[in-house]
């Protein structure tokens, strides 16, 4: 079955464009950051980071709101005795897990999350997860993945987490359309409604990975066609393919064009025409077009520069340039997965400067020379660049905010329009009082 639907058959955009490849110092959060949105999404899971006080500070400050609730993440601190090999970290981990599960019967899936320190002392968390699973099954499933900052970027934590779920998904040959990637519940509901209206063949299930609850984890098998909702899920995609599922190639559901292309690819995978999608989505597209028309003036012709942070850069850049008329100065991405990004690259305006990886000093030099109107970057770079008079947008905000689908398209555009408006206000000449 051909699951690829060319949105614009002639468009080649940046498909074969040269890419600046850099491997140097990079300034990004680590994969632990994903816990902040994953613990909200998987409502009966607990994330136990096996790390240092630094790791604990990172997730505590990133997810500080949780102090008001029974938290669903914590850090088992490896202290000097563990790091020096004087204590058996496995015994201590077993004790911490037993205490936690005794106190919290609501936990159904426990993720042991590796960190830089646990990697450095070579603590084998996959064996620990196996051992603890055997001890606590069937009440609790214990899995593990790494969120270590060594050579990873902050969205890869989600990829590693979802990939760790794939082996425990049940096998089923039944037809299924599986949406892969953590989305805020409200966005998931909107997309599920639209997919449900496409008229998929009778008996075709619509599933989501991750599921909101552990007992709703979808099955997988040769009847599964899966659509990525997030671009940073290369390992998860590979793991699903190894279970017989087939990826539906599509742009990402960001902006009106991306969402329509994504739905059309899903429809085509089940033999449903693009015209059906246009009919089903007519009112949502209309609403989004009206909302976008109100923001376009603020973004038209504005020059954007993306530092590599989340792997969402290319779809967002495509949306801002094609639907809002922004000019792309440089689009950086931590990793360029050409296969998963093929549809997006084809839509990106030809001649866009693409960069993969980071050598932060070189990239800062290009950015300073270009003086873009907005720079999308991590928190660590934003303040210094603002001090130099550049307007910035925090990349992490794009991951925490609902941005997918038709209803969120204008909200996403607003995230970029707002700092421009603020800057215009701050730099506007102050009106002189009129003499009486």
Rounded least distance, CB 152 to ligand SF4, Å = 9
Site for ligand SF4 in 348-407 (CB under 6 A): none
CA–chain centroid gap for 82, Å, is: 33
Give the containing element (helix H, strand E) for 296. Answer: helix 282-299
Nearer to ligand SF4, 147 or 251 (CB): 147
Nearer to ligand SF4, 309 or 414 (CB): 309
Site for ligand SF4 in 93-122 (CB under 6 A): 115-116
Nearer to ligand SF4, 151 or 339 (CB): 151
Rounded least distance, CB 27 to ligand SF4, Å = 12
Nearer to ligand SF4, 136 or 335 (CB): 335
Nearer to ligand SF4, 147 or 231 (CB): 147
Is the sign of the CA dihedral 333, 339, 340, 343 positive or negative?
A: positive
Rounded CA gap, 245 and 170, in Å? 13
Number of residues that bind ligand SF4 (CB under 6 A): 12
Rounded least distance, CB 75 to ligand SF4, Å = 9
- The neighbour count for residue 313, using CB atoms within 10 Å, is 27
Closest CA to 282 of 305, 259, 300: 259
Nearer to ligand SF4, 51 or 210 (CB): 51
Give the pairing of strands 109-114 and 141-146: parallel
Number of H helices, E strands in the chain: 18, 14
Rounded CA gap, 379 and 396, in Å? 8
DSSP string covering 356-375: EEE-HHHHHHHHHHH--SEE
Rounded least distance, CB 52 to ligand SF4, Å = 6
Rounded least distance, CB 115 to ligand SF4, Å = 4
Overall size of the chain counted in residues: 436
Rounded least distance, CB 56 to ligand SF4, Å = 8
Closest CA to 35 of 95, 68, 75: 75
Rounded least distance, CB 157 to ligand SF4, Å = 9
Residue closest to ligand SF4, measured at CB: 149
Rounded CA gap, 77 and 93, in Å? 10
Site for ligand SF4 in 150-169 (CB under 6 A): none
Site for ligand SF4 in 301-320 (CB under 6 A): none
Closest CA to 219 of 164, 178, 188: 178
Site for ligand SF4 in 129-148 (CB under 6 A): 147-148
Residue 30 is a binding residue for ligand SF4 (CB under 6 A): yes
Rounded least distance, CB 49 to ligand SF4, Å = 8
Q: How far apart are the first and last CA of the chain?
A: 79
**DSSP reduced 3-state for 327:** strand
Nearer to ligand SF4, 328 or 360 (CB): 360
Nearer to ligand SF4, 274 or 379 (CB): 379
Give the containing element (helix H, strand E) for 277. Answer: helix 274-280
Site for ligand SF4 in 38-67 (CB under 6 A): 51-52, 54-55, 58
Residues that bind ligand SF4 (CB under 6 A): 30, 32, 51-52, 54-55, 58, 115-116, 147-149
């Amino acid at each position: 079955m051909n699951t690829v639907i060319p949105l614009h058959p002639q468009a080649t955009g940046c498909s074969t464009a040269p890419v600046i490849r850099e491997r140097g110092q990079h300034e990004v959060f680590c994969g632990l950051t994903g816990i902040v949105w994953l613990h909200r999404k998987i409502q009966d899971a607990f994330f136990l980071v096996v790390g240092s006080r630094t790791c604990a500070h990172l997730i505590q400050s990133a997810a500080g709101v949780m102090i008001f609730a029974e938290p669903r993440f914590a850090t088992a601190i490896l202290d000097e005795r563990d790091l020096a090999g004087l204590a058996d970290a496995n015994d201590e981990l077993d004790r911490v897990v037993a205490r936690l599960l005794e106190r919290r019967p609501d936990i159904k899936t426990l993720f042991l999350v590796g960190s830089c320190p646990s990697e450095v002392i070579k603590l084998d968390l996959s064996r620990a997860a196996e051992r603890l699973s055997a001890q606590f099954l069937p009440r609790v499933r214990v899995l593990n993945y790494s969120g270590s900052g060594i050579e990873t970027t902050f969205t890869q934590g989600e990829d590693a987490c979802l990939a760790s779920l794939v082996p425990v998904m049940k096998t089923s040959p039944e037809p299924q359309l599986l949406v892969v990637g953590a989305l805020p519940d409200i966005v998931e509901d909107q997309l599920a409604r639209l997919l449900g209206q496409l008229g998929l063949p009778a008996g075709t299930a619509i599933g989501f990975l991750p599921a909101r609850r552990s007992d709703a984890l979808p099955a997988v098998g040769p009847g599964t066609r899966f659509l990525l909702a997030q671009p940073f899920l290369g390992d998860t995609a590979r793991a699903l393919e190894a279970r017989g599922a087939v990826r539906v190639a599509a742009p990402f559901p960001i902006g009106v064009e991306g969402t329509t292309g994504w739905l059309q690819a899903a429809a085509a995978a089940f033999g449903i025409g693009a015209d059906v999608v246009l009919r089903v989505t007519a009112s949502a597209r209309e609403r989004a077009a009206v909302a976008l028309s109100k923001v376009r003036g603020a973004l038209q012709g504005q020059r954007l520069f993306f530092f590599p942070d989340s792997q969402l850069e290319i779809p967002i850049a495509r949306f801002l340039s094609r639907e809002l008329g922004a000019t792309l100065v440089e689009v950086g991405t931590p990793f360029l997965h050409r296969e998963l990004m093929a549809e997006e690259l084809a839509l990106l305006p030809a001649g866009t400067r693409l960069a993969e990886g980071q050598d932060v000093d070189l990239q800062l030099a290009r950015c300073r020379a270009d003086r873009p109107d907005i720079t999308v970057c991590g928190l660590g770079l934003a303040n210094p660049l603002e001090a130099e008079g550049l307007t910035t947008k925090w990349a992490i905000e794009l991951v925490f905010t609902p941005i997918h689908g038709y209803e969120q398209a204008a909200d996403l555009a607003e995230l970029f329009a707002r700092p421009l408006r603020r800057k215009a206000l701050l730099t506007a000449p102050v009106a002189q009082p009129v003499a009486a």
